[in-house]
């Protein structure tokens, strides 16, 4: 037999002999560890926790005006698209914000549920810490956002998970509305200002038209043609009447043309601003869901923590290893002490 094989056999034999020698002690200790770990991981000592989850994707775009009013077909199709990495990271950031925490804590009275007194020295820190322990947000392998809630009440765990998904919409909408409303007010001011300017120009043009200038180019052509006829027929009365009309036309024709052309440009600008005004108004005061729910939370039928068989198995294994180590130390102690005394002498 090779030397290495002989050594391995010898070592295995020694281990087997050692385990057999101390079998009763090890069995008693492992049995006690199993029983005690089962008892101390039972509901008598550890509150069972139930888990509920929500899985969702963010929407690719949240601008209602772009989704519904824009003529671009690609943008309209975006209404049904799931969000990419940027939107996913934004969703996670919002979920981890204090705005979400505060709303969830207030809606479900979590401080009271967790047994944290308002008079506690570190009340806010304690509530947030408990929140982070029981409620987590992370990405799934398919790049969806997963809300996981652990709670001693299975129905409450499901309600909190679904509630967070709903609160996410309101918080994200509030964040966007703050900017959208400001933008709408700016466009609104510009729109009404443009309306007043157009109205003032229309009033001025009306006054000019009341003086007899209705269409400068056609009127000038018609009057000059008629004047030529009157001159040819030597009709003094007709010539004088047409001359007066031409004087009015020449006096107010320039302002008429300027006002008419400027008014056309201003109305074009007003039409453009009105379109922006309508879009901004919709973005400021209309809402759409910010997410696609893939899986809603439901009431858990079984607890998720603690898993007694895992606790028992780990405790028993740890006890076995610790017992072997202690027994080895006890058995080797006399030999170790003799070596120390020999070295000292």
Task: Locate the domains of the chain by residue range.
Answer: 3-181+288-344, 184-285
Q: What is the pLDDT of residues 53-72, one digit of tens each?
A: 999 988 876 565 665 555 55
Cα–Cα–Cα angle for 164, 170, 174, rounded to 5 degrees? 140
Q: How far is CA 178 from CA 101, 182, 184, 283, in A?
A: 20, 7, 10, 11
Distance CA 310, CA 296 (A): 29
Could you say which DSSP state residue 81 is in?
A: P
Question: Left if phi > 0, otherwise alpha if psi is -120 to 50, otherwise beta: which for 156?
Answer: alpha
Sheet holding 145-151, edge to edge: 135-139, 145-151, 50-58, 291-295
Distance CA 14, CA 6 (A): 12
Span 184-206, average pLDDT: 88
Contacts of 279 (CB under 8 A, 6+ apart): 65, 66, 69
Q: Does domain 3-181+288-344 have CATH number 3.30.530.20?
A: no
pLDDT the model gives residue 165: 92
Distance CA 25, CA 33 (A): 12
**Mean of the per-residue pLDDT values of the chain:** 78
Structure tokens of 12? 């295995």
Q: Report CA dihedral (42, 313, 130, 160) to the nearest 10 degrees.
A: -80
Distance CA 307, CA 12 (A): 34
Question: Which of 120, 124, 146 is closest to 135 using CA atoms?
Answer: 146
The rounded Cα 32 to chain-centroid distance in angstroms is 50
pLDDT the model gives residue 126: 92
pLDDT cut 90: percent of the chain above it: 21
Is residue 262 very low, low, confident or very high in pLDDT (cuts 50, 70, 90)?
A: confident
Contacts of 284 (CB under 8 A, 6+ apart): 177, 180, 181, 183, 184
Q: Answer whether residue 82 shows pLDDT above 70.
A: no
Is residue 52 very low, low, confident or very high in pLDDT (cuts 50, 70, 90)?
A: very high
pLDDT the model gives residue 16: 74
Distance CA 321, CA 333 (A): 18
Distance CA 254, CA 257 (A): 5
Q: What is the pLDDT of residues 302-321, one digit of tens each?
A: 876 666 667 678 888 888 78
Distance CA 57, CA 81 (A): 10
């Amino acid at each position: 037999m090779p030397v290495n094989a002989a050594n391995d056999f010898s070592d295995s034999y020694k281990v087997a002999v050692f385990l057999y020698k101390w079998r009763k002690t090890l069995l008693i200790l492992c049995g006690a560890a199993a029983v005690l770990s089962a008892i101390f991981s039972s509901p008598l000592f550890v509150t069972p926790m139930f888990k509920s989850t929500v899985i969702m994707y963010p929407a690719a775009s949240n601008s209602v005006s772009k989704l519904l009013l824009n003529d671009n077909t690609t943008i309209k199709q975006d209404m049904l698209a799931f969000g990419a990495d940027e939107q996913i990271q934004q969703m996670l950031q919002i979920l981890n914000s204090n705005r979400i925490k505060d709303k969830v804590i207030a809606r479900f009275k979590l401080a009271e549920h967790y047994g944290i007194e308002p008079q506690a020295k570190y009340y806010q820190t304690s509530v947030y810490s408990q929140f982070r322990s029981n409620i987590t947000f992370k990405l799934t392998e398919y790049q969806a956002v997963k809300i996981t809630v652990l709670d001693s009440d299975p129905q409450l765990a499901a309600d909190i998970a679904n509630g967070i998904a709903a609160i996410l919409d309101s918080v994200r909408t509030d964040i966007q509305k703050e900017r959208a409303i400001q933008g709408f007010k700016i466009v609104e001011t510009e729109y009404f200002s443009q309306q007043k300017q157009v109205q003032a120009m229309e009033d001025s043009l009306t006054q000019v038209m009341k003086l007899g200038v209705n269409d400068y180019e056609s009127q000038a052509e018609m009057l000059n043609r008629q004047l030529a006829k009157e001159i040819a027929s030597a009709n003094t009365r007709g010539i004088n009447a047409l001359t007066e009309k031409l004087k009015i036309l020449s006096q107010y024709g320039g302002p008429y043309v300027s006002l008419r052309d400027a008014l056309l440009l201003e109305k074009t600008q007003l039409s453009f601003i009105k379109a922006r005004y309508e879009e901004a108004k919709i973005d400021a005061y209309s809402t759409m869901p910010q997410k696609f729910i893939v899986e809603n939370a439901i009431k858990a039928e079984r607890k998720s923590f603690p898993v007694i068989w895992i606790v028992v198995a780990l405790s028993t294994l740890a006890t076995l290893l610790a017992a072997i180590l202690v027994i080895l130390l006890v058995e080797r102690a006399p030999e170790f002490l003799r070596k120390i005394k020999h070295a000292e002498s």
